[in-house]
Amino acid sequence: MKKNIPFNSALFIKSLIFLLLISIITQAQNNNFEISKNLEIYTTLYKELNKNYVDEINPGKLMETGIDAMLKSLDPYTVFIPESEIEDVRFITTGQYGGIGSRIQKRGEYVIISEPYEGFPAYKAGLKAGDKILKINDKSAKNKTPKEISEVLKGQAGTELTITIERTDEEEPLKKELIRENIKIDHIPFYGMLDKHIGYIKLISFTKDAGKDVKNAFIDLKNNNDLKGIIIDVRGNGGGLLHEAVMVSNIFIEKGNLIVSTKGKLPDKNKKYKTILTPIDTKIPVVIMVNQRSASASEIVAGSFQDLDRAVIIGQRTFGKGLVQNVVPISYNSKAKITIAKYYIPSGRCIQEIDYSHKNDNGDFYKIPDSLTTAFKTRNGRTVYDGKGIEPDILLDDLKFSNIASSLFVNYHIFDYATKFNSETPSIPEAKDFIITDEIFEDFKNYISDKDYDYTSKSEKALEDLKKFAKKENYFDAIKQEYEALKEKMKHDKKADINKHQDEIKDMLRIEIIARYYYQKGQVISSLKKDPEIETAIEILMDTEKYSLILKGNKRK
């Protein structure tokens, strides 16, 4: 006969908690042992290599290589930052760094100035786009990477350096003396009115005070114009500080609304970020412009406006970066930028596209497939999805360049002609008024007449593929005559292509030339002149019925 043993729930729960604690402690001990064991293996190997390897090695470089290889197995945003690159950390967090203020790029054996920033040391010293950097402080710059050159150009404000350059219209190299300054790149290279009623703000980063700058720009537009709609352009904006994304959103969204939340492995990384200030305007129609290079903080802004049905999003699907990084100090003035959480926008979705915790058989990280995406709802009940960046409310095709225009661009002929034009032409009309005349275009065609800018059209590529497969299957001899005849007919005429696509090439020339005289602000103004995406945005903002229907989930045809 069995006895009924009374169930003691309190004792059971205590036993369960005890077993759970034992499990956690055991797991922690195992983890600690694994960490200690592998650190000992790593340091022992490092010492033995340093002591015994046949050739001399650089211990610091060897360690950095090991660290980089370790971090490569994680996401690309978790990186080691040595003391020599500490100015990059300043730029990430504050938008400032010590240096000369210029963009650079590799060109053959040397690095060239691609754009001096207006008002900063490179500009003040007379450096120009196209200048080839031969020496820095009398040390050769030949065969140096842009990163290596950048590390030398950056440094503490107030320190001096000398740059020797080669300029195409000068017979002898020029030596320029510069004093480094704190370089602060404007978050907003341009804002203004596109017509009588539509304002425009170009936002290129989310470093410190981005929210304040957008607020001031919007107030200026609102107070001095008959403003009926605003375009915020974050195309190409790779992000920045999460806090600044919240502050930008707060300008147009009611106080107390959740903009973004973060969830990490540690409890202190789980946070909610709400609008805490009184907004400036919660009624004015807003369009957010995005593209594939709009990432991180740009996606928080676009995503929160979409989830709260506060703006119409126009452009291409965004990058899909739903991860948050913190910069943490480590030994000897080095730092590490570490992914500490994922972020979630108001509907509850995370827009991270790539799963960095898993790789396929080729060693590539997985992209989240459509079948695993989850539907969420905006405030008005519109359906949106996670895992794929922000899909715009109005999805536009990405602007495509013709083969001839792409070839002229990648072979630097557009860039080099602008450099030549600038050396021969002291001034041009204002950015909004400058055009490429037929005379300028003819001069450009003469300039490239002896330059190499050949390319393979899609049709020619398909024909080459046909030849390859026909040879593989032993059919080519039978079709060789027809193949040669078709190839001759399809042979592209570069001169004809230049004339055929002259409007596109003229636009590229106009923007590049304007950059020589009016720098980044001029480029933005010039690019707005013929921008079909901006035209779509203006159309939506001026059609209040269509704007309202989109936010309600009804897209009027």
**pLDDT score of 464 more than 90:** no
Instruction: Identify the band that residue 14 occupies on the pLDDT scale cut at 50, 70 and 90.
Output: very low
**pLDDT score of 332 more than 90:** no
Lowest model confidence (mean pLDDT) among 216-225, 279-288, 453-462, 538-547: 453-462
How far apart (Å, rounded) are the C-alpha atoms in residues 535 and 385?
27
Output the pLDDT for position 62. Answer: 83
More confident residue, 26 or 118: 118
Is 289 in contact with 235 (CB distance < 8 Å)?
Answer: yes
Is 246 in contact with 301 (CB distance < 8 Å)?
Answer: no
Query: What pLDDT, in 10s, does the model give residues 60-80?
Result: 788 888 888 888 888 999 988
Question: Which string of b and e fits 407-431 if b means at least 16 CB within 10 Å?
Answer: bbbebbbbbbbbbbbbeeeeebeeb
Output the pLDDT for position 107. Answer: 93
How far apart (Å, rounded) are the C-alpha atoms in residues 248 and 261?
16
List phi, psi (to 5°) of 187: -65, -30
Output the pLDDT for position 1. Answer: 46
Long-range CB contacts (within 8 A, 24+) of 519-524: 519/115, 519/116, 519/117, 519/118, 520/115, 520/117, 520/118, 520/186, 520/189, 521/118, 521/189, 521/190, 521/431, 522/431, 523/189, 523/431, 524/189, 524/190, 524/202
More confident residue, 71 or 486: 71
Output the pLDDT for position 85. Answer: 80
Helix (H, G, I), strand (E, B) or coil at 313: strand
Is 174 in contact with 167 (CB distance < 8 Å)?
Answer: yes
Phi-psi region of 130 (alpha: psi -120 to 50; beta: other; left: phi over 0): left
How far apart (Å, rounded) are the C-alpha atoms in residues 241 and 243?
5
Output the pLDDT for position 68. Answer: 85
To the query of whether residue 321 is one of the catalytic residues in this protein, the response is yes
Is 434 in contact with 513 (CB distance < 8 Å)?
Answer: yes
- Mean predicted confidence (pLDDT) in 158-181: 95
**pLDDT score of 458 more than 60:** yes
Phi-psi region of 92 (alpha: psi -120 to 50; beta: other; left: phi over 0): alpha
Output the pLDDT for position 281. Answer: 98
How far apart (Å, rounded) are the C-alpha atoms in residues 67 and 306?
40
Angle at 525 between CA 391 and CA 500, to 5 degrees: 80
AA letter at 43: T
Tokens encoding 329: 């100090």
Choose the catalytic residue: 102, 205, 294, 296. Answer: 296
Choose the catalytic residue: 307, 386, 393, 531. Answer: 307
Choose the catalytic residue: 176, 321, 388, 521. Answer: 321
To the query of whether residue 423 is one of the catalytic residues in this protein, the response is no
Cβ neighbourhood burial of 149 (10 Å; 0-12, 13-18, 19+): buried
pTM of the model: 0.86
AA letter at 23: S
Is 95 in contact with 187 (CB distance < 8 Å)?
Answer: yes
Q: Of all residues in the chain, what percent carry a pLDDT higher than 70?
A: 92
To the query of whether residue 261 is one of the catalytic residues in this protein, the response is no
